[in-house]
Amino acid sequence: MAGTRKSYDGVAVCVPVTIPYRRYSVNSAHWWVGRALHALTRQARLRPKDIDGLVLSSFTLAPDKPIGLTQHLGLSPRWLDDVPLGGASGIVALRRAARAVQAGDAEIVACVAADTNHVDSFRKTLSTFSRFAQDAVYPYGSGGANASFALITRNYMNKFGAKREDFGKICVAQRDNALSNPHAIMKKKLTLDEYMAARPIAEPIHLFDCVMPCAGAEAFLVCREETARSLGVAAIRLLSTIERHNAFADDPVQVRGGWAMDVGELWAMAGVKPDDVDFVETYDDYPVISMLQFEDLGFCAKGEGPDFVRGHSLTNDGTFPHNTSGGQLSAGQAGAAGGFLGLTEALRQLAGKPVGKPVPDAKLCVVSGFGMINYDRGLSSGAAVLARAA
Amino acid sequence: MTDPLVRPKRKDPLKRTRMPLAPPAARSRTAHGLTAAAAEGKFALQVCSDCAAVTYPPRDACPSCLSPRLPFMPVDNRGTLVAETTVHNSPEPYFRERVPWRVGVVKLDVGPSVVAHLHGDTVEGARVRLELKLDKIGAPVMIALPAKETPNMQDDPQLREMTCDPKFRRVLITDGRSAVGQAMAKAFAEAGSTIVFVGIADAWKPYPGMEALRRIERVEIVPLDLTDSESVAEQAEQNGGRIDIVVNTAEHVRAGGFVDRHGLTVAREQMDIRYFGLVRLAQAFGPVLRGRGADGVNSAAAFVNLLSVHALMNWPAYGAYAAVEAACLSAAQCLRAELRPGGVKVVNVFSGPLETEWFQTVPPPKVAPAALARAVVDALKRGLEDVFVGDVAEDVRARLAVNPKALEREISN
Amino acid sequence: MSSVDLLAFAQAVASGKIRVIDLTQTLSQEFPTIVLPPEFGQCAPFRIEEVSRYDERGPAWYWNNLSMGEHTGTHFDAPIHWISGKDLPNNSVDTIDAAKFIAPAVVIDCSQQCAADPDFMLTIPFVEAWEARHGRIGPGHWVLLRTDWSKKPYPQYAGMRDDGAHTPGPEPAVVKWLVEERDVHGFGTETIGTDYGQGQHFNPPYPAHFYMHGKGRYGLQCLANLDQLPARGAVIFSAPLKIKQGSGSPLRVLALVSGED
């Protein structure tokens, strides 16, 4: 597979923006998108009309689609995309934008994920999420993703001997990483005892296995390296990406994501090995999915996730720095912005400008996305290997 | 181990009645293939006509070969419970009130992985059988039951939400004069109903079986005349709050159609007892039934109509009767929609000719009153909505599904 | 001929000098009606449907729609009701001369005999014995049979058993005799029907209907309060509804009795 895909040479990923999250917001998603674009133009010293490409991810734009936002926000892009893929949105938006600037179809692409969170947003989103969810999941306890991932977690525990303590270790480490992140919604240290004793949500998922839904926005720019240089912004290099949807449909319960189908290509295209990376940002809607990503991205074999976690320290100063700003489990999940959170954190760490605790000598990382629980499993997955500017 | 249901204590009259809530009701059009199966207690999934793949959730093209031909067919309902979870937290009000609620994923032997409600006696890793049932809002859901029958299985709280089990409920048999009414009273007493109200009109007119009816345990005979609005209203006022299941056994059967009939008195009686009787029951009992759908162990649960299968296709030999039955069927469908928000099922039980006096000259097969009563109790225990009892009913239904016009001609010869 | 002082009559009613006894059962759903074999057409029972009651169906008024048969509750039978009277002139409720709706009555009391025996049959000797005490029954009189049946609870009132109704009534001979020998106006009873409960077994069946209507006489049934009437001297007002070609109708039957009786 290596060699058949065009490299991302010359592509720059830059200007990570986070609009601080709020638990509930009376503002619309449009407002949050506007805030993110405003911050992008300010930080990159651009005028809004300089943005000639826009890719948007949001669950709460209704009744608008991204096209409505062009008029709403006064943009006239020559390249427009809608990536409604939840936690995989960041990686997929990056892939689309990268090829657009390479082909010259756009010069400066704003990649924005934003969602508001009204008091009844959660229930409304759950109940109309997908046709399969409507017909075959939501009528069963309506536990939402919590119940679906409880089943995935339980099956994984039965099959591979993972214990709640293993997932707890991931959560505790992420909370440690979040303590230095001023934007994180969760502010208090978490101990393993507190994790274990927390109230059950849907067994075996307990309170600290769940993200806190909130309102917020994450964004970044994609352009050519020359453009980044002329803007005077730090340009992060894109070494490889993969994307896959509805992989392994015959697995009775999800035990692997699409990454497992294309992981060889990810590393071959990047020209590096898993061991070479300095930190990893996984999509952490639930700790079991982070464990799957450790396996499927090639850090250990299928089923070795528990041992891998037991044998590593996952804090920013540990042997395997993971979700270095706290991940969604500690920073909060602002809807689709949860799929961009790992990317913006990676961009900051690689540029040497993290908002929280730095990963020592961060040169190389892999960022992974996952999402869209259409029925009983996450359909979309993607990953990107990013490197500090040469 | 399912704990056996305990007879509920008398309701505290000062306590507010819990209001009915609905589980999520929305289903795609294709998913209503499951509704049709659940209504009759069948288990059916889409099976691709071109590559035989069995697919779930319901969809519009085969995921193996993209064929659009995906009819719902009966399939083997056995599988293994692969993983389970107990939901403790739900944003959906119906479930929020009922947690902890157990659901799981079952891998069916025929292929698909199915998210299902779990009966309390199912064990993770063990074999189960899936059934399709209509939940409290009448939407189709999967429930996994243990592979073999377990003690007190019917009493599982999650299962009882989907059924109308007569056990510990109070039933009104609207007309106890007839053989059907009396068989019904006996069947419900045996099914564990705590009170079997039996309506009798014109008590001054004696009727066969009167003594035996009075002697049935827990039977309470009440005055009820379905042709008299005041009588029906009065019965609802007096006992409506403690009637959980209404079984409308009022009947009016006469041979004959229209052209050879003289005058309208029989037709009027027929409409009055059957159609207007149903309307009176709906007006008098509908509101209180609908309000009590979540009222504890002995919540209001069902309104049962006994209909001729010829409501679906007129049988000219009994044409006037069939026409009135058709009116009743349509009214019952309306009533079904009106009672559903309260979690009360309208159960339509179709049968061909019965072993009763006005069908005397009709050759067999006919349905005996006791068999009809058994079918009603069974339908309530299983939470069915559309029931076909006996050979003639099954036959009419089968022919109707293939070619209604052929049936129309055949039935009128 | 000197004119009759009708004003004095009205004043006598108003003052109670003439008493008005209501011989009518209240029309209600529960009141038993005649039951014929199920293959035959049945008499409609009384049914009442509220149209509105000071509510959204009619804010300031209360009214009902009714349904019933011509022979429901306390009712009048016209000669056209029976096959034997079908061809007589002026035989329907709308064609009977209105003057016929006011007539004197004799009351034959067999309540004691009926108390012991629901199958009590009125016979010619019984009537002759009554005449010996009260005088000859004059022409144009109603003959009302007091049985006190109206006081019974409905099951006994209807008297239905597995071979039909068991209620008191006249034998064929006495009816024929009343018509031919006494030229009576009509026959009235407290029971459902003017005939004996088991009258289907007589020859002719239902002789009270057969002979009375056959000779253009009338019937009244489901009467009440006959025990308040004197053996003779009461005048009955019994005007049925003016129904087109009607065979009978429910009605208000009033007996006027002189204050001294």
Domain spanning A11-120+215-231: which superfamily?
Answer: Thiolase/Chalcone synthase (3.40.47.10)
Indicate whether C250 pLDDT > 80.
Answer: yes
Name the residue in chain A with its Cα closest to that of B32. Answer: A135
pLDDT at A1: 47
Contact C47 B265 (CB under 8 A): no
Is C114 domain-assigned? Answer: yes
Report DSSP state, residue A388: -
If you average pLDDT over residues B134-139, what whole number do you get? 97
pLDDT at B208: 94
pLDDT at C261: 52
Q: Which of C244, C25, C256, C37 is nearest to C152 (CA)?
A: C25
Mean pLDDT of chain A: 96
Residue B202 touches chain C, beta carbons under 8 Å: yes
| Residue in C71, C81, C185, C213 annotated catalytic | C81
CB C91, CB C85: distance < 8 Å: yes
Contact B87 A141 (CB under 8 A): yes
In this complex, which of A151, A201, A205 lies closest to B104 when CB atoms are compared? Answer: A151
Residue A151 touches chain B, beta carbons under 8 Å: yes
Indicate whether A123 pLDDT > 90.
Answer: no
pLDDT at A129: 87
Ordered by start, the domain boundaries in chain B are 32-160, 170-411
Both tokens assigned to C259:
């204050």
Residue A308 vs residue A127, higher pLDDT: A308
Residue A119 touches chain B, beta carbons under 8 Å: no
Shortest Cα distance from A113 to chain B (angstroms)?
Answer: 25
Q: Round to whole Å and give the CA distance between C251 and C33.
A: 15
Indicate whether B13 pLDDT > 90.
Answer: no
CATH number of the domain enclosing C140: 3.50.30.50
Q: What is the pLDDT of residues B33-50, one digit of tens each?
A: 999 999 999 999 999 999
Grade residue A3 by pLDDT with cuts at 50, 70 and 90: low
Percent of chain A with pLDDT over 70: 99
Name the residue in chain C with its Cα closest to that of B276. Answer: C49
Is C148 domain-assigned? Answer: yes
pLDDT at C18: 97
| Strands B245-248 vs B302-308: parallel, antiparallel or unpaired | parallel
Residue B39 neighbours by CB under 8 Å, 6+ apart: B134, B384, B385, B386
Domain spanning A129-212+237-387: which superfamily?
Answer: Thiolase/Chalcone synthase (3.40.47.10)
Binding-face residues of B in 250-269 toward C, CB within 8 A? 263, 265-266, 268-269
Is C42 domain-assigned? Answer: no
Neighbouring chains to C with at least 3 Cβ pairs closer than 8 Å: B
pLDDT at C260: 65
User: Do the two chains A and C touch, given a threshold of 8 Å on CB pairs and at least 3 pairs?
Assistant: no
Please tell me the total count of domains within chain C: 1
Contact B85 A204 (CB under 8 A): yes
User: Do the two chains B and C touch, given a threshold of 8 Å on CB pairs and at least 3 pairs?
Assistant: yes
In this complex, which of B83, B101, B114 lies closest to A141 when CB atoms are compared? Answer: B101
Ordered by start, the domain boundaries in chain A are 11-120+215-231, 129-212+237-387
CB B308, CB B287: distance < 8 Å: no
Residue A129 touches chain B, beta carbons under 8 Å: no
Indicate whether C1 pLDDT > 80.
Answer: no
CATH fold match for the domains A11-120+215-231 and A129-212+237-387: yes
Contact C160 B206 (CB under 8 A): yes
Is C43 domain-assigned? Answer: no
If you average pLDDT over residues C52-79, what whole number do you get? 97
Grade residue A390 by pLDDT with cuts at 50, 70 and 90: confident
Both tokens assigned to C182:
């006494």
pLDDT at A83: 98
Is C59 domain-assigned? Answer: no
Mean pLDDT of chain B: 97
In this complex, which of B34, B85, B142 lies closest to A154 when CB atoms are compared? Answer: B85
Indicate whether B348 pLDDT > 60.
Answer: yes
CATH class of B170-411: alpha beta
Q: Round to whole Å and give the CA distance between A221 and A108.
A: 7
Report DSSP state, residue B367: B
Contact B117 A141 (CB under 8 A): yes
pTM surpassing 0.90?
yes
Chain B interface test: which of C25, C27, C29 (most B C-beta within 10 Å): C29
Q: Round to whole Å and give the CA distance between B305 and B323.
A: 16
Domain B32-160 is of which CATH architecture? Beta Barrel (2.40)
If you average pLDDT over residues C224-243, what whole number do you get? 98
- Determine whether C75 is an active site residue: no
- Treating both helix axes as pointing N-terminal to C-terminal, what angle do B179-190 and B369-382 enclose, rounded to 10 degrees? 40
Indicate whether B202 pLDDT > 50.
Answer: yes
If you average pLDDT over residues A6-22, what whole number do you get? 97
Write out the residue range of the structural domain in which residue C246 sits: 6-30+69-258
Region of C86 please: left (phi>0), alpha (psi -120 to 50) or beta.
alpha
3-state DSSP helix/strand/coil % of chain C, to nearest 5: 25, 30, 45
Alpha-carbon distances, residue C50 vs B25, B100, B229 (angstroms) = 38, 49, 9
Shortest Cα distance from B267 to chain C (angstroms)?
Answer: 10
Contact C47 B266 (CB under 8 A): no
Contact C35 B205 (CB under 8 A): yes
If you average pLDDT over residues B17-21, what whole number do you get? 95
CB A348, CB A221: distance < 8 Å: no
Report DSSP state, residue B62: -
Indicate whether A268 pLDDT > 60.
Answer: yes
Which H, E and C letters describe C67-79, residue by residue? ECCCCCCCEEECH
Chain B residues whose beta carbon lies within 8 Å of the beta carbon of residue A158: 83, 124-125
